[in-house]
């Protein structure tokens, strides 16, 4: 009986440790999510400020911006209000590069960044 109680106590202690670890992981994830939310909010505010400046200095309109957004959305082949990067070809071996911007897995050449937004995705 004593042995059975000891085994059960060990299981309870293990479960408690596992639950504590899961709680710490959840708290870390929540903190990262809050920081990402803050960054997104800040970037949205910066974007709005830049657009406001552009409109006042150039005479561009909201309709022009909406048209351009639609063109970018259509360019990836799916109208979903997201920018899905297309596969790009390696300039050296003409095979598809990894989507995360790493060097070519076939020949080792780094990707050619021909746009300021190339590395953003």
Structure confidence at residue 99 (pLDDT)? 72
- Asked if the model's pLDDT at residue 6 lies above 80, the reply is yes
Cβ neighbors of 51 (< 8 A, separation 6 or more) are 65
**Tens-digit pLDDT profile for residues 45-103:** 999 999 999 999 999 999 999 999 999 889 878 899 888 777 788 999 999 987 777 88
**Tens-digit pLDDT profile for residues 27-44:** 999 999 999 999 999 999
78 & 36 share domain: yes
Structural domain that includes position 105: 85-121
94 & 72 share domain: no
99 & 70 share domain: no
Rounded Cα distance between 48 and 44, Å, is 6
Split into its structural domains, the chain has a count of 2
Contact by Cβ (8 Å): 23, 31 = no
């Amino acid at each position: 009986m004593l042995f059975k109680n000891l085994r059960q106590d060990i299981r309870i202690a293990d479960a408690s440790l596992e639950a504590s670890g899961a709680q710490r992981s959840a708290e870390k994830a929540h903190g990262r999510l809050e920081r990402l939310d803050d960054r997104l909010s800040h970037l949205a505010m910066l974007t709005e400020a830049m657009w406001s400046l552009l409109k006042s200095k150039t005479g561009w309109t909201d309709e022009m911006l909406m048209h351009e957004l639609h063109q970018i959305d259509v360019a990836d082949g799916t109208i979903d209000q997201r920018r899905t990067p297309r596969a790009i070809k390696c300039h050296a071996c003409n095979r598809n590069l990894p989507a995360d911007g790493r060097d070519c897995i076939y020949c080792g050449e780094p990707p050619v960044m021909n746009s300021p937004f190339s590395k953003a995705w």
